[in-house]
Structure 1
Amino acid sequence: MELEVRHLRALCAIADTGSLHQAARRLGVSQPSLTTQLQRIEKSMGAELFRRGRTGCLPTLLGRAVLSRARPLVDGMTALVGAAMAEAEAAREGGPRLRIGSTASRVIGGWLRGLRVRLPGTDISLRVDVSARALLGEVAAGRLDVAFVHEVEGCPLVVPDGLVQRVLLEREPQFISLSRDHPAAGRPVVDLDDLAGDRWMVDPSVDGEWDGVRRVLGAAGLDPPVLHGDYLTAASLVVLGEAVAPCQPTSGPRDDMAIRPLRGDPLAVRLLLVSRQGADTDAVYGELESAYRDAARRAEDYHRWLLRHRSPLAHTS
């Protein structure tokens, strides 16, 4: 069974209401239908996502891991549908519009919120894609106005002619996510050698991701088992102690997972805002920088990292 957005929306509704009955009412379906749908989802996952009892439905450890990834997808799809409807309305009315692209990032929500306040009356649409190259192509073709992308260190992006870059951060370290009971989870900084016996999970569809991880592991003389898959699956495996995975330093905090910096910051990306030549990106860049500062401040380990490296992004603008 392949999970669809409607399945993820059902899981979120069950978690939010704590009841199959209330979730079914929210979704506009019958309770037996929702119960059957949940059973099919759990069967496809091979484990329970909720424990049903007299007090209602509570997510299991795996359920919490799935929900942590499902919510941004559901919210993003809801925003995408709303943006598409707003764009169609704006096109009919001839109002201003801003078409944004981005690779996955913790700052997207704050960025969009800031832009809506700063640019009232502007129809703002969003496209999220794992491929930075695809987003750059959309900007070059005029289907997007700007794109916020990351470039994996050692795997430079080919930026099409006619596009200009603004660097948000020259070098953002990538942290490591590991289970709470991992032996290295209690340390403030993790050495690569501490992870030599672990399976690593990497999403090969993210431009440069696998090449970057392979380069760093090879340079450290490590050759661990590597699993290829999306980071939704990775999160559930990490929580259960079945794998470790690189992650953005703005991730967390999470009760069911430890997120720690790697000693020496061997994994890193460059953060870029790309637009067509001549485009006025001051407002877009300003709100992106502000959203990034907020996200960094909420991630305590990363905020300390920025302070140690005397980054201006560690401070409130």
Structure 2
Amino acid sequence: MELELRHLKTIRAIAEAGSLTRAATALGLAQPALSTQLKRIERALGGPLFERGRQGVRATALGELVLARARIVLPAVSELQQEAVRFARTWDRQDELTVGGTHGPLLGGLVDRLAGSAPGLRVSTRTSWSEREIAEYVVAGRLDFALIGACGVAPPPGGGTLAWREVAVDPVFVMLADGHPLAARAEVRLADLAGEFWTDVPGDGCFADCFAAACARAGFTPAGVYETDTASCVHLVQVGRAVGLCRATFPTTPGMVTRPLTDSPLTWRHLLGWHPAAQPAQLASSVFTQACAAHATAAARSDSYTAWLTRPRGPAWGHNTGQRVN
């Protein structure tokens, strides 16, 4: 049997799991099948790779040698594959662009502006609740650009591999049923919402923790949070089952209003990311400009956001910053 990359991945998985049982679960295999596979790999390499004991498995000297090489080979092959994909996308797909994003009003606006700016350009999209997943797709060359959000000053995902520019910074608003007692206010204090149930879309950033911290500073703990899709969030707000958190650019619908929270305890940064080795600087600049325009259009469509922006305040809000994010 010749050694293959999948064999090295199996060895690495066993070492990281520390037991065949846990490794089998991680690999989606039955333990007997994994044990059989390991024996074939050991025969091909000339000796046992792991010592088995009550506490699990421990790499032998031969196993440590193989693992040391695997830790070099596997990342190198993965990087080669990603570079090849990026190269192919850059040179073979000049008339196509794939943009990934988390759910929100800006992705559709960006796609519309890109398609309108170049009639021959084919724009496709991919969405996910996970900002990290979208960034990973860009790193792997499966997406050209990522349009995501980050809470407050949280760093963007991607491990420093991607280039990021800040499209805009928005306050987080609250969604209320139009018959809610606080709906007539120009701004709502977070403390006045103590005792309410909340609804929000899921994500893998720090927003949930930041929200909990903001509530604690306001002197209460949320009664409960429904994490669900955007349409369900809106429905729960409309029927008075919950109040919702949303970006200031979120469009209002019949039966609900959006209102700013006093002193803006939560903020949301819109970020555009790409791999600098895959996208020409001119293209990245053009897509960024279109993302900024999409944000400006979305902001202008929100009466509550427009009114909020006209009030005196400190640092500029809602404007395209162009800031590069490390």
Distance 1:311 1:157, change over 3 A: closer
Q: 1:95: Cα distance to partner?
A: 5.1
Residue 170 of structure 2, aligned match among 172, 175, 180:
172
- Once residues 311 and 268 of structure 1 are traced to their aligned partners in structure 2, the CA distance between those partners, rounded to angstroms, is 10
Residue 303 of structure 1, aligned match among 296, 306, 310:
306
- Once residues 108 and 157 of structure 2 are traced to their aligned partners in structure 1, the CA distance between those partners, rounded to angstroms, is 27
- Once residues 94 and 181 of structure 1 are traced to their aligned partners in structure 2, the CA distance between those partners, rounded to angstroms, is 51
CA contact 1:203–1:209 (8 Å) conserved in 2: no
Distance 1:240 1:294, change over 3 A: same
Find the counterpart in structure 2 of residue 161 from structure 1. 160
CA contact 1:238–1:245 (8 Å) conserved in 2: yes
Residue 294 of structure 2, aligned match among 275, 291, 294:
291
CA contact 1:95–1:121 (8 Å) conserved in 2: no
Write the letter of the residue equivalent to 1:251: F
State the Cα RMSD in Å.
2.3
Distance 1:163 1:156, change over 3 A: closer
TM-score (norm 1): 0.65
Equivalences for 1:87-98 in 2 at 5 Å? Answer: 96-98=95-97
Find the counterpart in structure 1 of residue 149 from structure 2. 150
Structure whose alpha-carbon radius of gyration is higher:
2
SS at match of 1:313: coil
Compare 100-109 and 141-150 and name the one that shifted more. 100-109
Find the counterpart in structure 2 of residue 199 from structure 1. 197
CA contact 2:170–2:269 (8 Å) conserved in 1: yes
SS at match of 1:175: strand
Distance 1:182 1:99, change over 3 A: same
Write the letter of the residue equivalent to 1:207: G
Find the counterpart in structure 1 of residue 129 from structure 2. 130
Cα-to-partner distance string for 1:117-156 (whole Å, 9 max, x where unaligned): 2123222111111111111111111111110110112643
**Residue segments in structure 1 that go unaligned for 5+ positions in a row:** 1-89
Cα-to-partner distance string for 1:16-73 (whole Å, 9 max, x where unaligned): xxxxxxxxxxxxxxxxxxxxxxxxxxxxxxxxxxxxxxxxxxxxxxxxxxxxxxxxxx
Q: Give the count of matched residue pairs.
A: 223
Cα-to-partner distance string for 1:201-253 (whole Å, 9 max, x where unaligned): 23344532322211211121211211332133222111111111101111233
CA contact 2:191–2:215 (8 Å) conserved in 1: no
Distance 1:228 1:236, change over 3 A: same
**Residue segments in structure 2 that go unaligned for 5+ positions in a row:** 1-88, 321-326
- Once residues 254 and 93 of structure 2 are traced to their aligned partners in structure 1, the CA distance between those partners, rounded to angstroms, is 47
- Once residues 156 and 317 of structure 2 are traced to their aligned partners in structure 1, the CA distance between those partners, rounded to angstroms, is 24
Q: 1:94: Cα distance to partner?
A: 5.6
Compare 173-182 and 204-213 and name the one that shifted more. 204-213
Q: 1:103: Cα distance to partner?
A: 1.1
Cα-to-partner distance string for 1:87-122 (whole Å, 9 max, x where unaligned): xxx99x965211101111212222212111212322
- Once residues 106 and 94 of structure 1 are traced to their aligned partners in structure 2, the CA distance between those partners, rounded to angstroms, is 27
- Once residues 183 and 217 of structure 1 are traced to their aligned partners in structure 2, the CA distance between those partners, rounded to angstroms, is 20
Find the counterpart in structure 1 of residue 260 from structure 2. 261
CA contact 1:152–1:270 (8 Å) conserved in 2: yes
Cα-to-partner distance string for 1:258-300 (whole Å, 9 max, x where unaligned): 2100000111111110011142311111111111111111101
- Once residues 206 and 99 of structure 2 are traced to their aligned partners in structure 1, the CA distance between those partners, rounded to angstroms, is 22
Distance 1:193 1:162, change over 3 A: closer
TM-score (norm 2): 0.63
SS at match of 2:261: coil
SS at match of 2:319: helix
Write the letter of the residue equivalent to 2:221: D
Q: 1:306: Cα distance to partner?
A: 3.0
SS at match of 1:174: strand
SS at match of 1:238: helix
